[in-house]
């Protein structure tokens, strides 16, 4: 659906001498589900499809929960550009902000994050985000809730590879423990999805730094970073888009909920590693302790912004601290803030901290900006 025809300049004589490319415009709906649509552009010579050459477009905001029907046109403002790993060639993926009447619409927190980073640019804050997720069989899953799985749990379904108990003679899925970084078909499912995601992120130009199977069967993690400031949020949202597209083709659904399976199973987080220039180049125990102290004083503010359903995950069990408590510790994966052993062993001269509280369905713009605002108050 589009409420404006494609530009007529695509039909001009001049475009016969230009290179046609396909640009995928990607944006967020009001509920932060990912949306996209395609457009042919003629941009001149090869390798000239830079961000400044990608024009604004628009979409129907009444279909994404961001505008009423009688005033539904929302402008797509390109803010980040990547190679298209699906179409290849000179084609591009463009992440956009939704703008109406000069303001970002519901679902976007990038502008506020950019303002926070700009006010603290001298500290060059780096981030590395560890995105956990769980894969479900799309066809089986659709028998239950078909809604985008960012905030809801389909209680009648189980992750891909788990026994469904359709027969009483079927043995239950083995307890977690053997699946973390596992090898072998008895321990791992959907490795081909992970491998394709890893490679396509690299092809897109994203700074994806690693991936691994997680503690629960059907649960995976990948890491984006190190990224500077606003780039962390841009790249992280694009990495989610790439994963969703791969799973779409495979008939799988990505469940971003922080506790998709109740009981004795790990939840899914988005552990956020961060460092300031001072922490990396001129660290001291005082520098690190000050950052932790400021995070502790703002614990409730962070928790309320770190993702929906996080109370189901942050229970004090399964490698988490209780949502009601703030703790920190060296090498402690059950703490709110983990101090890496490498930092401790260096005498706190250089390194980073890990905030283990963010949920897998968090908004990376909110998480990264809130950390910056808290540890570097103005």
Angle made by CA atoms 295, 301, 304, in degrees to the nearest 5: 125
What count of other Cβ atoms lies within 10 Å of the Cβ of residue 101? Answer: 9
What is the per-residue pLDDT across 176-200, written as a single tens digit (0 to 9) for each? 878 999 999 989 999 999 999 999 9
**CATH: 3.10.20.70, 3.40.50.970, 3.50.50.100, 3.50.50.60. Which one for 8-108?**
3.10.20.70
**CATH: 2.50.20.10, 3.40.50.12280, 3.30.590.10, 3.40.50.2000. Which one for 123-375?**
3.30.590.10
> Rounded to whole angstroms, how far apart are CA atoms 66 and 107?
8
378: helix, strand or coil: coil
* Cβ atoms 154, 145 nearer than 8 A: yes
Strand 92-100 with 73-83, pairing: antiparallel
Residue closest to 292 by CA, chosen among 338, 346, 344, 342 = 338
pTM of the model: 0.90
What is the per-residue pLDDT across 313-343, written as a single tens digit (0 to 9) for each? 999 999 999 999 999 999 999 999 999 999 9
DSSP element (H, E) containing 128: strand 126-137
231: helix, strand or coil: helix
Q: What residue ranges of the chain have pLDDT lower than 70?
A: 1-17, 45-47, 139-156, 164-172
pLDDT recorded at residue 147: 42
> Rounded to whole angstroms, how far apart are CA atoms 117 and 173?
45
Give the domain ranges of the chain: 8-108, 123-375
Q: Tell me, yes or no, if the two domains 8-108 and 123-375 fold the same way.
A: no
Tokens of 48: 């000239």
pLDDT recorded at residue 288: 98
């Amino acid at each position: 659906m589009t409420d404006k025809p494609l530009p007529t300049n695509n039909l001009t004589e001049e475009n016969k001498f230009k290179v046609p490319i396909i640009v995928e415009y990607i944006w967020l709906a009001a509920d932060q589900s990912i949306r996209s649509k395609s457009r042919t552009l003629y941009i001149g010579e090869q390798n000239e499809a830079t961000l400044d050459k990608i024009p604004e477009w628009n979409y129907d905001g009444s279909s994404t929960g961001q505008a009423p029907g009688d005033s539904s046109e929302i402008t797509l403002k390109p803010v980040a550009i990547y190679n298209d790993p699906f179409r290849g060639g000179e084609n591009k993926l463009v992440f956009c902000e939704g703008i109406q009447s000069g303001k970002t619409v519901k679902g976007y927190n990038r502008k506020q994050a950019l303002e926070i980073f700009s006010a603290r640019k001298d500290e060059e804050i780096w981030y590395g985000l560890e995105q956990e997720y769980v894969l479900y069989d799309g066809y089986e899953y659709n028998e239950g809730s078909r809604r985008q799985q960012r905030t809801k749990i389909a209680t009648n379904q189980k992750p891909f590879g788990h026994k469904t108990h359709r027969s009483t003679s079927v043995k239950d899925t083995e307890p977690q423990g053997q699946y973390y970084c596992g090898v072998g078909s008895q321990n791992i499912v959907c490795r081909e999805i992970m491998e394709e995601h890893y490679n396509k992120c690299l092809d897109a130009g994203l700074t994806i730094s690693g991936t691994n199977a997680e503690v629960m069967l059907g649960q995976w993690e990948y890491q984006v970073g190190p990224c500077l400031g606003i780039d962390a949020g841009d790249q992280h949202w694009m990495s989610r888009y790439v994963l969703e597209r791969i799973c779409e083709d495979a008939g799988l659904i990505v469940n971003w909920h922080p506790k998709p399976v109740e009981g004795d199973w790990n939840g899914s987080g988005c552990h956020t590693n961060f460092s300031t220039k001072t922490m990396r180049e001129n660290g001291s125990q005082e520098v690190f302790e000050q950052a932790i102290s400021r995070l502790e004083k703002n614990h409730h503010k962070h928790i309320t912004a770190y993702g929906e359903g996080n109370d189901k995950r942050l229970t004090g069990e399964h490698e988490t601290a209780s949502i009601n408590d703030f703790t920190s510790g060296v090498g402690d994966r059950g703490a709110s803030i983990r101090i890496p052993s490498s930092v401790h062993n260096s005498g706190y001269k250089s390194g980073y901290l890990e905030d283990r509280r963010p949920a897998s369905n968090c908004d990376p713009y909110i998480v990264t900006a809130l950390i910056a605002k808290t540890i570097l108050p103005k």
